[in-house]
A and B are shown apart, each in its own frame.
Chain A
Amino acid sequence: MDQDERVVFVVDDDPSVRKSVARLLQVAGFRTETFVSAVDFLERDRDSIGGCVVLDMHLPELSGLDAQVKLAESQPLLPIVFISGYGDVPTSVQAMKAGAVDFLSKPFSAEDLLGAVREAFARNARERSSRFEMDEIRGRLSALTPREYDVFREVVTGQLNKQVAATLGIREKTVKVHRARVMQKMSAASLADLVRMAERANTGSDALRAGSPVSEECRP
C-alpha cells in the first residue's frame, strides 16, 4: 500500500477540532499534518501533491474560500475537503463550484469525513493520471508539423478527407498522407482514439492550449 504517502493536511483554528480530526484520520490510517491557519499552510514550501487538505471554512485572516483561490493557483491538483461550523448554502455552492471535493458541516460523522478524504485521494489519483495523459498528448501534438496539425484539427471534427482537402485547399491524396502521419505520431489506434485525445487536449487547461506549438495565428 502506498497509504503512507497519503498525507492529509488539517487546517483549523480550533485546537480541539484540529487535534481530534487528525486523530481520527490517523486511526483510519492516514498521515496528517496540522495547521492553525490557511496562511501557515500556504507558507509551507513542500510539494503537497499526493495529499489532500481538510480546510476549515471560517478561519481568521485568510478565510477558507480565499485559501481555495490561492491553492488553485499554486497547487491545482490538491483536493480540498471543506469543514464548516456554519454551513450556509451560498458559501458551500461557491466552494463546490471552485472544485472542492466535499463540504462537510460540523459535526460530521467519521464515515463522511473518511469518505470525503478517500474521494479526495481518488480524485487526486485521477487528476494525476489525467495530468500524465495530457502531458503525453501534448508531447505528441508538439511533434506534428503545422500542416499535420491543420489536418488533425479538421479530421477530429468528423470531416471526410475530401472535405478537409477542400477546406485546406490541398489535394485529397495529400490529406491522406498527412492523416496517416498524424495517426502514427499521435499513436492513435483509431479515429475515435484521436477524437478522445483531441477532447482531452481541449478540456485541458488554457495553458495547454496556449502551449500548443501551432495556432491559426501562427500559420504562415
Chain B
Amino acid sequence: MNFGTLSMRAEADDDRFRYLMDIVPQLVWMAGPDKRCIYFNQEWLEFTGRPVAKELGYGWTDNIHGDDVKRWIATYEQAFQAQQAFSIEYRLRRHDGAYRWLLHTANPMFSRAKDAFEGYIGACVDITDRRCAEESLRETKAKFRELFECNALPIFYWHQDGRILDANSAYLRLIGRERGELERGKLRWSDFADLGCLTLSPEAMAERTAGRGGTEGLEAEYVCPDGKHVAMLVAGSAAPENPDRGVACAVDFTVRKRTESALRSNEALLRAVFASLYGNVAVIDREGCILSANGAWTQLARDTTGFSKEAYVGANYLDVCRRAAAAGDRSAAAAVNGIESVLLAHAPGYSQEYSCPSEHGPWYELVIVPLRRQEGGALIFHLDVTSRVRAEGEAQRLRNELSHVTRVSILGELVASLAHELNQPLTAILSNTQAALRLLGKGTSAPDELREILEDIAMDDQRAGEIIRRLRQLTRKGEFVLQHIDVNQLVTEVYGLLESDSLIRRVPMECKFVPDLPPVLGDRIQLEQVLLNLMLNGLESMKDLPQDGNLRLVVSTRRAGEASIIVAVKDRGVGVTPDKLGSIFKPFFSTKPDGMGMGLSICRTIVQAHNGRIGVSNNPDGGATFEVELPITREVSSGSG
C-alpha cells in the first residue's frame, strides 16, 4: 500500500489524516505488509531529526539502541507473522543523540473487507521519564527493603486481625521463626505478645499515639520453639491511611532485663544486709539529713527517751544533736563535732561512748564512718555496748580489789618498819610525859618547861597520827581516781614510807630526780603501790648481801622523749636470771619462799591501766633495774608549753 492508493480513495480523507497525524503528540508510523515502513508523522521526524527519506523502509531502525535491536526484530517478525497487535518498549535515538525509551504499540491494518492484511500502524510514547520514575521507585523500594531487612532493630508489619504482614530477619531471629512460616501466613503477633493496644480502634490508637508517633513500649515475653526465653519491648504505630495496620518494632531486652533483675536482687540483698546490720544504723547525707535507717534504729528512735527520739528518716540528725547539745547534753555536743569532722572529711572516722539516758542506763558507742561516694555523707552506728562497759567496770572493780589485797599484803612486809616509825613518836611522848611527871613530882614550879614538853607531846602525837593516816591511805579500798601527779613527789612519799625499812635492812636508799617534770595522769594510791612494790623488792634483793659502799637502792626519774616519764628503781642485788626475765611479771611468779607472786603482776596491771609499760633489765655492774614508763598528761603539757 502507498499514499497513491490512499489518495485515490479519498483526497479529503487523506488530508484530514495528515492533519490528524501531525497534531497527535505521539510518534506515529505505518508499515506495509512487506514490513517496510511507509509513513512517519511530523512528531516522529522532529523526534529523530531526520528526513523522511532516511526513515522509510528499514531506514529508521538505524536509530534503535543496539541492545534493543534484536528484541525489536524478533517482536516485529513475530507480529507480522501473527498479524496481531503488539507492544514493545525500546530505546530510540533522538535528534540530540540521546536514547529515549519509547512504548511502542501497533495494530495490524486490514482492508475494509477484512480480507487483506495491509500492514501495521503504530504509535510511540516517550516513556523515558516514566521509566526513570519506575527505576527510582524500584531503587527506593529495594533500598527500603534493604533498610527493613538489614535493620538490626526487629521490625514487623502488623494487622489488627493479628497477622504479621511482614517482618525483617531481625524480628524473625528474635522470635526464632523461619521466613517460610511468615510467608505461609502462619505467624501472628498475638501469639508472641499481648499487645492489646494494637487492637484498639483507629481513633483510640490515634489518640494513644498522638504526638508520640507510636504506642509506649510494651513489655512482652515469649518462649522460642528452641526454649529460649525472650523479653522484648514492643512499640507500634498505625499507618495514617490504614489505621488497621501499622509497623511495630521490638527491642530485645532479655540481657537488660536479666541485668535489671540481677540489679534488683542485688539491691534487695543490699537492703537485706542493711536491715540486718548489727546495731542501730542510719545513713546521712552531707548535710546531716537521715536518708535511710535500719529497723533497729527506727525502733530505738521510737523507744528511747533520749535525743535520738527525733532521729527518724528525713530528719536532720546534726540538728537533732545540736538541739540536744544546746539543752546541755555534753555527749551530743561531742557527737556534733565528730559528725561534722567526718562529713567535712577532716577525720577518717569518729567514735565515742555515751550512756543514755542516765549514767546507769544503756551504754552506746556512736560510730561515724564516711560514705565512700561522690555525694559524701556518712553512716552512723549506735552500738549497744552496755555489757562491754559493764564488763570493763567489773574488770576494773576486780583489779581494784586485787590491788587492794596485794597492797594490804605489802603491809605485812612493812610491819617492822612501820612499828619502828610509829615507835619514835611514841617513845618521845612517853619520855616527855614521864619527864613532866617527874618535874611535877619534884614540886618545882616550871610552867615554861612543862608547856614546852606538852607542845612536844602534841607534835609527836600528830606525827604518829600522820603515820597512821598514810597507812590507812595505802590500805584504802578506793575507786580508781585519776588525778595529775608529780612523779618526784610520788617517789618522795614512797621513800618516806620505806625509810625505816631501809634502816632496818641496813640498805641505804637514794633519790635522783630530774626537777620540774610535767605531771602524769593516774591514780595516786595505785602508782604508790607500784613504786612501793618495786622499791621493797629492791631492798629485799640486797638484804643478805655484805655491806659495802655500793650497796644501795637508787630511785631516779627522767623524761623519755616528749610523751612520757620514766621512774627507774635500781638495786645492786643478785639480779634476775635470764630464764626468769620473761615470766617475772606473770601472776604467781615468785622467787621468795613465802611470796604470793602477785606483786609484780599487779604492778604490770596497774601500769598498763595507766597506758604505761613496765620492764626489767639486769645492770652491767650487778643487780636489776625496773623501769616504769608513764605517759605525760597531754592537755597540761601542751597548756604549760
Contacts and interface: CB of A to CB of B under 8 A. Distances in A.
B424 to A, nearest CB: 5
B428 interface: yes
A16 B460 contact: yes
Nearest to A105: B423
A23 B459 CA distance: 16
A55 B442 CA distance: 28
A21 B434 CA distance: 10
Contact of B424 (A14, A60, A113): A14
Contact of B427 (A58, A60, A88, A108): A108
A23 B416 CA distance: 27
B419 interface: yes
Contact of B435 (A20, A83, A85, A108): A20
B391 to A, nearest CB: 45
Contacts of A14: 424, 428
Contact of A16 (B425, B435, B442, B500): B425
Contacts of B421: 85
Contacts of A89: none
B331 interface: no
B427 A106 contact: yes
Interface in B409-436: 416-417, 419-421, 423-432, 434-435
A160 interface: no
A28 interface: yes
A106 B435 contact: no
A83 B508 CA distance: 21
B456 A60 contact: no
A24 B428 CA distance: 10
A35 B508 CA distance: 20
A106 B417 CA distance: 13
B430 A109 contact: yes
A108 B430 contact: yes
B461 to A, nearest CB: 11
B434 A109 contact: yes
Contacts of A83: 427
B472 to A, nearest CB: 20
B385 interface: no
Contact of A85 (B419, B430, B459): B419
A1 interface: no
A132 B430 CA distance: 39
Contacts of B434: 24, 109-110
A156 B424 CA distance: 54
A7 B93 CA distance: 173
A86 B423 contact: yes
A58 B503 contact: yes
A17 interface: yes
Nearest to A88: B416
A27 B435 contact: yes
A59 interface: yes
Contacts of A60: 503, 508
A86 B417 CA distance: 7
B480 to A, nearest CB: 34
B424 A17 contact: yes
B450 to A, nearest CB: 11
B309 interface: no
Interface in A66-99: 83, 85-86, 88
Nearest to A21: B431
Interface residues of B, number: 30
Interface in A11-57: 14, 16-17, 19-21, 23-24, 26-28
A37 to B, nearest CB: 12
Nearest to B444: A27
Contact of A86 (B416, B426, B435, B459): B416
Classify the interface of chain B: helix, strand, loop or mixed. Answer: helix
A106 B432 contact: no
A16 B438 contact: no
B506 interface: yes
B456 A20 contact: yes
Given A58-B420, A59-B503, A20 B427 contact: yes
A86 B428 contact: no
Contacts of B506: 63
Given A16-B425, A16-B456, A86 B420 contact: yes
A106 B434 CA distance: 14
B85 interface: no
A85 B424 contact: yes
B500 A110 contact: no
Interface in B285-313: none
Contacts of B459: 16
B270 interface: no
Contacts of A105: 423
A13 to B, nearest CB: 8
A106 B503 CA distance: 15
A169 interface: no
A19 B432 CA distance: 9
Nearest to A28: B438
A105 B423 CA distance: 9
Instruction: Kindly name the residue among B430, B442, B456, B508 whose own CB sees the greatest number of chain A CB atoms within 10 A.
Output: B430
Contacts of A23: 431-432, 435, 453
Interface in A142-190: none
A107 interface: yes
B504 interface: yes
B453 to A, nearest CB: 7
B500 A58 contact: yes
Contacts of B453: 23
Nearest to A16: B428
A79 B435 CA distance: 23
Interface of A: 14, 16-17, 19-21, 23-24, 26-28, 58-60, 63, 83, 85-86, 88, 105-110, 113
15 contacts: A17-B424, A17-B431, A20-B427, A20-B428, A20-B460, A21-B428, A23-B453, A58-B500, A58-B503, A85-B420, A86-B423, A88-B416, A107-B427, A110-B431, A113-B431
Given A24-B435, A85-B420, 17 more contacts: A16-B456, A20-B428, A20-B431, A20-B456, A21-B431, A23-B431, A28-B438, A58-B500, A85-B424, A86-B417, A86-B500, A86-B504, A107-B423, A107-B426, A107-B430, A110-B434, A110-B435
List 8 tightest A-B contacts by C-beta distance, closest first.
A85-B420, A110-B434, A16-B428, A20-B431, A85-B423, A106-B427, A106-B423, A107-B427
